[in-house]
């Protein structure tokens, strides 16, 4: 016999229990079992808990079957497929104890699924199928897991991971740096520096290396927030030597340009593509020398038939420290207007710095080139622009730029490769927005180290998911209309679509049933080769 009982808790909520009476053969007396099925809402209706939320589970309850467990599995199926495709689980288990590896992988699944701040991961782990689902994962437990991740273990993982990703992969990578803001000044990594998000906060700096062809992150490193981009390259080169990855090609932003870094990379045998800042003297000399020659029909570069504006590029061979390099000179009439607008914005900023007295050593060249500064007893400080220097830039240098490389001799190929740097920038956006790392909320350096390591693991998974979804969208016309993706889902949209797919397990001989998949869920599962429904 079955009946419902109601228990009012001190918090005011009334919980509903299903009580079943039965004959206990072992004890030879009547007995009963009860299980919580939900609670009452304001209207007295039952709000079923996650074990009995599906119609199948409630029907089984009415038949007297026992629900052993009910879990969300939609997001987990896709994350498990991404984990298998990348080989992430095997590498983790080679570098961590089995239980610890499962916990870290599960936390990375939660982050990739969009659980938000890491203290909320315990809710996701409880409700979703994952390697560490059955372990205790309350917020304090998560903090302990993160704090237990040692730097030596991370080093072992990064070495194993870079070698694993190197197998059968292109040797071309993107390398970039971003800042992650924090209010916590007790963390020694949190320092004041150049904040790329334009926030008035201290920060840490994070470097990321990503494979061009695979789009999978390969390596990361944390630096104090005050460290400039140019100073991180030496550490990066040292790491690559330790990992046996000297002979690679990297795409760098102009902020990494320095004579020291160029010499270090040439000496280490690392191939590079790097735009040259306008402040470098030899770039202006190169533009002046070849301005007329570059704008010739034989130097036109076109990446598609739809391009209307002329883009020109030519290459000049040279040597630095005895090593051959190629200086690729480009002119784009479309970028000319952008360059002039950028100069005018910088002129206003530099003039304000001179008037306020808050000058910067790194822009000393700009003050000298574009301004005359005088101080008189009557008028005080007076800052005047050098119009001739401004006009010279507008007529002679605007629209021109240079990419320096020691591994690509063709101007078009160098520019095409360098355009790939946008993928790293987009992954930083993913990490800081979709994956909730716009702030470092952890207190100590140990917890922060584990937190960012988990974030790197989740970035690996989301990068693979994006590659699969992008490929499915591009090839959607090759499959029947009813089976193709209805839209190009963002990561957040995809995870939300999968958030209702559930598996309910029953005790004894009843096995398990899954909920009926929606059309969107089926199309996503097909993209990953997952059988469902």
Q: Is residue 493's pLDDT more than 60? A: yes
Split at pLDDT 50, 70, 90, the class of 263 is very high
Q: Judging by beta carbons within 10 Å of its beta carbon (0-12, 13-18, 19+), is residue 391 exposed, middle or buried? A: exposed
Nearest CA-CA partner of 218 in 262, 170, 158: 158
Distances in whole angstroms, Cα of residue 418 to Cα of each of 65, 248, 328: 61, 15, 12
Q: Which of 12-26, 152-166, 405-419 has the lowest mean pLDDT?
A: 12-26
Rounded to whole angstroms, the Cα distance separating 60 from 55 reads 9
Predicted TM-score of the model (pTM): 0.74
Q: What is the dihedral of CA 207, 208, 209, 215, to 10 degrees?
A: -160
Q: Where are the domains of the chain?
A: 171-275+410-441, 278-405
pLDDT attached to residue 375:
84
| More reliable by pLDDT, 487 or 136 | 487
The HSE-up count of residue 50 (CA atoms within 13 Å, CB side) is 16
* CATH topology assigned to domain 171-275+410-441: Nucleotidyltransferase; domain 5 (3.30.420)
pLDDT attached to residue 14:
81
Q: Is residue 86's pLDDT more than 90? A: yes
Note the pLDDT tens digit of each residue in 266-306.
998 899 999 998 878 899 899 889 988 988 888 888 876 55
């Amino acid at each position: 016999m079955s009946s419902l009982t109601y228990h009012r808790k001190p918090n005011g909520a009334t919980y509903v229990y299903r009580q079943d009476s039965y004959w206990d053969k072992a004890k030879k007396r009547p007995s009963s079992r009860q299980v919580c099925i939900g609670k009452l809402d304001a209207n007295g209706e039952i709000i079923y808990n996650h074990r009995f939320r599906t119609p199948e589970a409630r029907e089984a309850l009415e038949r007297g079957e026992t629900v052993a467990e009910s879990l969300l599995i939609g997001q987990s199926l896709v994350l498990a497929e991404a984990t298998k495709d990348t080989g992430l689980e095997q590498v983790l288990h080679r570098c961590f104890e089995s239980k610890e590896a499962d916990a870290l992988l599960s936390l990375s699944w939660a982050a990739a699924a969009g659980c938000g701040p890491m203290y909320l991961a315990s809710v996701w782990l409880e409700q979703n199928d994952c390697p560490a689902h059955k372990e205790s994962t309350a917020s304090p437990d998560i903090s302990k897991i993160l704090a237990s991740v040692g730097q030596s273990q991370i080093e072992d993982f990064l070495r194993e991971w870079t070698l694993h990703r190197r197998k059968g992969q292109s040797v071309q990578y993107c390398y970039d740096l971003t800042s992650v803001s924090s209010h916590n000044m007790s963390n020694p990594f949190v320092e004041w520096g150049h904040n790329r998000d334009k926030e008035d906060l201290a920060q840490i700096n994070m470097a990321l290396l990503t494979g061009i062809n695979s789009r999978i992150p390969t390596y990361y490193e944390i630096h104090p927030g005050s460290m400039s981009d140019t100073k991180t390259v030496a550490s990066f080169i040292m790491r690559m030597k330790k990992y046996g990855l000297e002979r690679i090609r990297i795409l760098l932003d102009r902020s990494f340009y320095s004579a020291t870094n160029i010499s270090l990379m040439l000496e280490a045998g690392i191939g590079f593509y790097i735009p040259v800042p306008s402040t470098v003297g030899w770039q202006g000399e190169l533009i002046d020398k070849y301005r007329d020659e570059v704008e010739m029909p034989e130097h036109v570069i076109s990446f598609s038939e739809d391009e209307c504006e002329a883009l020109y590029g030519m290459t000049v061979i040279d040597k630095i420290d005895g090593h051959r390099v190629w200086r690729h000179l480009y002119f784009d009439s479309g970028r000319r207007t952008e360059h002039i607008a950028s100069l005018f914005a910088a002129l206003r900023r530099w003039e304000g710095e001179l008037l306020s007295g808050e000058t910067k050593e790194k822009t000393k060249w700009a003050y000298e080139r574009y301004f005359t500064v005088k101080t008189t007893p009557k008028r005080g400080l007076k800052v005047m622009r050098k119009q001739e220097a401004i006009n010279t830039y507008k007529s002679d240098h605007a629209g021109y730029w240079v990419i320096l490389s020691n591994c690509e001799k063709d101007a078009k190929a160098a520019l095409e490769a360098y355009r790939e740097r946008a993928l790293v920038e987009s992954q930083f956006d993913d990490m800081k927005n979709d994956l909730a790392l716009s702030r470092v909320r952890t207190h100590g350096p140990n917890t922060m180290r584990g937190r960012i390591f988990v974030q790197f693991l989740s970035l690996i998974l989301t990068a693979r998911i994006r590659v699969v979804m992008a490929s499915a969208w591009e090839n959607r016309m090759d499959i029947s209309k009813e089976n193709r993706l209805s839209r190009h889902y963002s990561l957040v949209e995809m995870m939300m679509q999968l958030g209702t797919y559930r598996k309910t397990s029953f005790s004894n001989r009843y096995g398990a049933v899954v909920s009926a998949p929606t059309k969107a869920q089926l199309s996503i599962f097909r993209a990953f080769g997952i059988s469902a429904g």
